[in-house]
Structure 1
């Protein structure tokens, strides 16, 4: 189930099952939001106890960019779920998710056990966070519940170069040799907002999951007009109860490092 969950956190595809006709205009690309929604077949009570798969996402007039986004999302999914069959569309993804729910209901009915179905939800909202200047920022918000101890929400950010529409990484934004200085600035800000001393270890003894207790920046970032923001999802560097972590580094501090 954990591997299945990651799929819906990342997958984006173009679907004809759409709502919303509003089109947004921007500096470089035009797009409109569409919504794909499916419900499980074995709903015990319609619109009450069942499974819902819902994805809202932008569709650009630039078909190549749509394909690029889908390819990037599926590539990330495959890297984390190598033994899971590759899915090509939201339709296929919804069938897998809803099929697991229906299978659980059918097994309860077959075994003659007391039917106690728990509603499942898988909702993803993909949006254009920023489209101005050099970069296009795509943010993906996911919220799911599959009968566990609590629902889980995740936030993923993707950066693209506006002219080429290619995915960019930190090395594409900063000058060569930027790593030590950026990391030092980021860790200083992180320790300050976490109320940590320089001597405090970033390991499980203090409630952190950094590998070998060493601070590290991830690739889940977004560039704003005033800062570059790194987002750590739940379970990534802290326990679920601690929630997600936003680390914002002012552009004024890192301006000398930028290309």
Structure 2
């Protein structure tokens, strides 16, 4: 993605607050003085974009549009924690669903990212349709120790079909650091968690208990189910997402499922950040 100067025919952007300040869901977290406000950033550019004064039919538009929506965290009592969380949220908005962060992304702003996306569009002489990119970060769940964020992406830049994806991020509310499954589970949990995960996966996909995953259209190494690390903590259990193409063709779409706590209580560290859900 190219950056710098952006010569384009039309450019418009909006940054707004979507609603009033919100307390986190759990009262024990609210007592820490952490709250958030949803923000929305929009920018578009191209030779034929809709605007307040010009209506353009979708099929006639020649426009690239970018939209970000995200929570902006604030705290009077813990400003450093809020800053760390906001920096992480920004990083998620700028990163692709798959892959590792780049140095370029780390130094970009939302505005620069949007300008670069639109510039790529306006400099491509073969574009006969519009491009779009929407990314959002939502607060899914929190306890007094953990916060689950969900990053979602949808876009189209030409080709046979749009692209989309979702990624969970679990944070330790004491330091705003990402939390892995290894941090929450007892050593040696992997095999048993995979068994519970396959059960939940099959239920979500309405598969029989013993059918071949490969014959059902899924691509797991050696036809053996294995969880990924795209997980989130919620009130009912651990949720996982397999994005399109990850274990199945695009036409089959993504798979999201939840492993109930009652199926994995013995796997959870009793003295860990999720200890209240252990046996």
Q: Residues 240 and 117 of structure 1: is their aligned pair in 2 closer, same or farther, counting only changes over 3 Å? A: same
TM-score (norm 2): 0.74
Q: Which residue pairs with 1:90 in the alignment?
A: 110
Q: Which residue pairs with 1:38 in the alignment?
A: 43
Bigger mean CA offset, 39-48 vs 174-183: 39-48
Deviation at 1:181, TM superposition (A): 1.1
2:237 to 215, 227, 232: 227
Task: Establish whether residue 131 from structure 1 lines up as the match of residue 142 from structure 2.
Answer: yes
Question: 3-state SS of the aligned residue for 2:115?
Answer: helix
Q: Give the whole-Å Cα distance in 2 for the aligned partners of 1:89 and 1:236.
A: 29
Q: Residues 211 and 40 of structure 1: is their aligned pair in 2 closer, same or farther, counting only changes over 3 Å? A: farther
2:220 to 193, 202, 210: 210
Q: Give the whole-Å Cα distance in 2 for the aligned partners of 1:57 and 1:75.
A: 14
Residue ranges of structure 1 left out of the alignment (5+ in a row): 5-14, 109-115
How many residues were matched structurally?
235
Deviation at 1:196, TM superposition (A): 4.3
Higher helix share: 1
Q: Contact 2:95–2:101 at 8 Å: present in 1 too?
A: no
Q: Contact 1:234–1:240 at 8 Å: present in 2 too?
A: yes
Q: Give the whole-Å Cα distance in 1 for the aligned partners of 2:165 and 2:70.
A: 16
> Alpha-carbon deviations, 1:58-81, whole Å to 9, x = none?
111111221234456767779447
Considering only aligned residues, what root-mean-square deviation do their CA atoms show, in Å? 2.9
Residue ranges of structure 2 left out of the alignment (5+ in a row): 3-12, 75-81, 270-279
TM-score (norm 1): 0.79
Q: Give the whole-Å Cα distance in 1 for the aligned partners of 2:98 and 2:161.
A: 26
Q: Give the whole-Å Cα distance in 1 for the aligned partners of 2:145 and 2:222.
A: 36
Q: Residues 221 and 165 of structure 1: is their aligned pair in 2 closer, same or farther, counting only changes over 3 Å? A: same
